[in-house]
Amino acid sequence: MPELPEVETVRRGLQPVLEGRRLVQVRQLRPDLRFPLPLDLVARLQDRRIDRIERRAKYLLMHLDSDDVLLVHLGMSGRILLIEDPDRTPLLTHDHVVLRTDEGVEVRFNDTRRFGFMDIFPADELTTHRHLAGLGPEPLGNTFNGPSLAAALKGRNTSVKAALLDQKVVAGLGNIYVCEALYQARLSPRRLARTVQGQRAERLVAAIRDVLHRAIAAGGSSLRDYVQTSGELGYFQHSWAVYGREGEACPDCICAGPPANGIRRLVQSGRSTFYCARLQR
Active-site residues, by number, are 2-3, 58, 271
Question: DSSP states of 164-226 as a string?
Answer: HH-TTTSSS--HHHHHHHHHHHT--TTSBGGG--HHHHHHHHHHHHHHHHHHHHTT---SSS-
For the chain, give me the number of helices (H) and strands (E)? 6, 10
Closest alpha carbon to 121 in 111, 133, 110, 113:
133
Round to whole Å and give the CA distance between 225 and 33. Answer: 16
Q: Could you give the CA distance from residue 158 to residue 162 in angstroms, rounded to a whole number?
A: 6
Contact (Cβ atoms closer than 8 angstroms) between residue 195 and residue 157: no
Burial class (CB in 10 A: 0-12, 13-18, 19+), 220: buried
d(Cα 22, Cα 42) in Å, to the nearest integer? 14
Distance CA(73)–CA(127), nearest Å, equals 17
Task: Round to whole Å and give the CA distance between 248 and 163.
Answer: 26
* Separation CA 247–CA 244 (nearest Å): 9
Q: Could you give the 3-state DSSP secondary structure of residue 241?
A: coil
Triad 35, 167, 232: Cα angle to 5°: 70
Q: CB within 8 A of 141, min separation 6: which ones?
A: none
